């Protein structure tokens, strides 16, 4: 069986040309991490056995949740270690080439793009923001402070019992629509503040409670590429907004710095 190549990422070639990651074991916990130079950029990878990481075997393993969790965690930890040392184009989990020759072809075909991307990522960090809210508390706040809703409640109180039931159902639906508008407006306003401190940003899909494990509802999810000299100001905005709004049921959660997962796209 031949050796495949498991690629973690691409970095600027160290000035001394030495491999600073050789003490780390690769994803198979056997082969050590290697670094291959291509002029100004280098690939960080490890060898893996074809019989363990061939396409058919890999399809079977990626259906095993325990295996995926263990190996994905390893992949992320290696990328975090690399990112702490240098600029990095992180590769997706299980980016595998059948030979070093295939890796060489890929790098040579994208070399100029990779060099430009590394230069763009250098001196910057990815930070993620997730906004949660207590939907019950937000619904109450909206109902208490929205004049249209208060007027509608007064109207319903003057109706017959049967009509009250139908109109109250409609009003509940309207309140929930207003809550969603409030969630979008809150996230958008915060996002607008934070983009002033980042060079790139992206808004992502919200996660449901099964994924987050939280009682509160996620209502905003975004990522930012922030220059190092602006990170402190960026995080201060989030801290201040968190303090200002936590009594209203909002929770702001900033995480990072991460490898530039959302901003290291290759075409």
What is the C-alpha to C-alpha distance for residues 11 and 25, in angstroms, rounded to an integer?
18
| Pairing of β 89-90 and β 3-12 | antiparallel
3-state secondary structure of 132: strand
Place of tokens 């409640």: 153
Say how far apart CA 266 and CA 56 lie, in whole Å: 26
Domain boundaries, the chain: 3-122, 125-258
* Count of CA atoms in the C-beta half-sphere (13 A) of 157: 6
Which range has the top average pLDDT, 16-25, 50-59, 234-243?
A: 234-243
Question: How confident is the model over 38-53, as pLDDT tens digits?
Answer: 999 999 999 999 999 9
% pLDDT > 70, the chain: 87
> Is residue 160 pLDDT above 80, yes or no?
no
Provide the pLDDT for residue 161. 62
Are the CB atoms for 127 and 38 separated by under 8 Å? Answer: no
161-195 helix and 135-145 helix, angle to the nearest 10 degrees: 110
Tokens describing residue 59: 């399809």
Classify 180 as helix, strand or coil: helix
Flag whether pLDDT at 219 surpasses 90.
Answer: yes
Strand, helix or coil at 17? coil
Cβ-proximal residues to 37 (8 Å cutoff; 6+ apart), any chain: 13, 17
Q: Is the pLDDT of residue 172 over 90?
A: no
pLDDT of residue 182: 84
CATH number given to 125-258: 3.30.70
Distance, CA of 126 to CA of 195 (rounded, Å): 13
Q: How many CA atoms are closer than 13 Å to the CA of 267, on its beta-carbon side?
A: 3
Q: How far apart are CA 43 and CA 103, in angstroms?
A: 9
C-alpha distance from residue 86 to each of 32, 39, 155, 197 (Å)? 19, 16, 64, 22
């Amino acid at each position: 069986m031949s050796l495949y190549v498991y690629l973690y990422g691409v970095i600027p070639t160290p000035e001394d040309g030495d491999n600073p990651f050789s003490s780390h074991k690769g994803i198979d916990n056997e082969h050590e991490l290697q670094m291959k130079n291509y002029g100004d950029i280098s690939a960080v990878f490890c060898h893996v056995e074809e019989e363990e990481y061939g396409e058919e075997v890999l399809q079977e393993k990626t259906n095993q949740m325990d295996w995926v969790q263990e190996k994905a965690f390893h992949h992320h930890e290696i990328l975090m270690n690399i990112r702490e040392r240098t600029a990095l184009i992180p590769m997706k989990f299980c980016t595998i080439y059948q030979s070093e020759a295939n890796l060489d072809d890929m790098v040579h075909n994208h070399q100029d793009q990779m060099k430009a991307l590394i230069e763009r990522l250098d001196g910057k960090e990815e930070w993620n923001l997730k906004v949660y809210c207590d939907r019950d508390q937000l619904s109450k706040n909206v109902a208490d402070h929205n004049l249209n809703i208060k007027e509608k409640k007064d109207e319903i109180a003057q109706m017959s019992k049967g009509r009250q039931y139908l109109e109250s159902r409609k009003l509940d639906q309207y309140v929930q629509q207003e809550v969603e508008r409030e969630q979008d407006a809150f996230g958008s306003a915060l996002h607008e503040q934070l983009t002033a401190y980042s060079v790139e940003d992206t808004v992502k899909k919200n996660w449901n409670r099964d994924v987050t494990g939280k009682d509160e509802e996620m209502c905003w999810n975004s990522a930012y590429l922030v220059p190092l000299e602006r990170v402190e100001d960026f995080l201060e905005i989030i801290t201040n907004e968190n303090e200002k709004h936590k009594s209203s049921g909002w929770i702001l959660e900033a995480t990072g710095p991460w490898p530039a997962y959302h901003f290291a796209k290759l075409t």
